[in-house]
Amino acid sequence: MSYNLLKGKRGIIFGALDENSIAWKTAEKVHEQGGKFVLTNAPVAMRMGAIKELAEKTGAEIIPADATNIEDLENLIEKATEILGGKLDFVLHSIGMSVNVRKGKRYTDQNYDWTAKGWDVSAVSFHKTMQTLYKKDAMNEWGSIVALTYMAAQRVFPDYNDMADNKAYLESIARSFGYFFGTEKKVRVNTISQSPTPTTAGQGVKGFDGFIKYADEMSALGNATADECADYTLTLFSDLTKKVTLQNLFHDGGFSNMGVSQKVMSRFIEE
């Protein structure tokens, strides 16, 4: 349902690969709420992805950018403000990738070139994006920047591998840059810590099927879906959350505060 929550707002959405992507659902919902945006993804992902279909549906233009490349980011931000007709009100960073995870390297046997690559893509790209926005003074006052994260930044999930470290770094960048963006430009910066979600990135994690079922049975409200994550993101882009910043916000059906649920416990009790 449209409340026109984002009417008149302009932004950039990173990371829509296919219709399962959290960024894809977010783009659809931002469009529904009256927001205008440019879609972006890494050039290589774009060749595989179905992003054109999303662009047509939402009246958005696509500007390819590797989020680890400053020149690409500068070009993206210049073109986006030109196309959209002014400074930006919202940015979604929905990017994650670990080469160690992809290639099945265990946490205790990292290839450090791959570790560095995954760190750059999954965490430093958020700093690079914000630094480029900041230097170009491309955000409007009371704008909102959101990145997606996972609870392995705080708790141990062995198969999440080096992505756990990348997410911890990402969340720290949100706080550190959020301070400068807040005090100097009145822009808020937050991360949303989402439940396991069946997307390309999510399903790359070893044992994902068990992982997602376990989280679902442990959570008071069950796992949050990609659609629900998109809804939550809309609230952070809207003017209803103007003083929420420097936060890591759990969107996980209560999982992060659970010790054990009766459903999970029942599996360990002998009849």
Binding status of residue 80 toward ligand NAI by CB under 6 A: no
Identify which range of 147-155, 213-221, 230-238, 258-266 contacts ligand NAI by CB under 6 A: 147-155
Establish whether 179 is a catalytic residue. no
Binding status of residue 150 toward ligand NAI by CB under 6 A: yes
Tell me whether residue 167 is annotated as binding.
yes
Identify which range of 53-61, 179-187, 200-208, 237-245 contacts ligand NAI by CB under 6 A: 200-208
52: nearest Cα among 67, 65, 63: 63
Binding status of residue 153 toward ligand NAI by CB under 6 A: no
Contact 94, 145 (CB under 8 A): no
Closest approach of ligand NAI to the CB of residue 222, in Å? 14
Task: Single out the residue of 13, 130, 187, 201 in contact with ligand NAI (rule: CB under 6 A).
Answer: 201
Closest approach of ligand NAI to the CB of residue 170, in Å? 8
Binding status of residue 202 toward ligand NAI by CB under 6 A: yes
Task: Single out the residue of 66, 171, 216, 228 in contact with ligand NAI (rule: CB under 6 A).
Answer: 66
* Ranges within 7-46 binding ligand NAI (CB under 6 A): 14-15, 17, 21-23, 41-42, 45
Residue 136 to residues 74, 131, 140, 176, Cα–Cα distance (Å):
8, 8, 11, 19
| Beta bridge pairs of residue 99 | none
37: nearest Cα among 50, 54, 19: 54
CA pair distance 96, 40, nearest whole angstrom: 14
Binding status of residue 77 toward ligand NAI by CB under 6 A: no
State phi, psi for 140 to the nearest 5 degrees. Answer: -75, 155
| Cα angle value 163/26/131 (rounded, 5°) | 60
With residue 56 as reference, give the H or E element that holds it.
helix 51-58
| Cα angle value 69/149/19 (rounded, 5°) | 80
Closest approach of ligand NAI to the CB of residue 236, in Å? 14
Q: How many residues bind ligand NAI (CB under 6 A)?
A: 27
Residue 105 neighbours by CB distance under 10 Å:
17
Reading the block at residue 103, the tokens are 């290639």
Binding status of residue 97 toward ligand NAI by CB under 6 A: yes
Contact 84, 77 (CB under 8 A): no
Establish whether 150 is a catalytic residue. yes
CA pair distance 265, 134, nearest whole angstrom: 49
Tell me whether residue 212 is annotated as binding.
no
Which string of x and - marks every residue 102-131 that binds ligand NAI (by CB under 6 A)? -------------------x----------
Q: Where do contacts with ligand NAI occur on this chain (CB under 6 A)?
A: 14-15, 17, 21-23, 41-42, 45, 66-68, 94-97, 121, 148-150, 194, 196-197, 199-202
| Residues recognised as catalytic | 150, 160
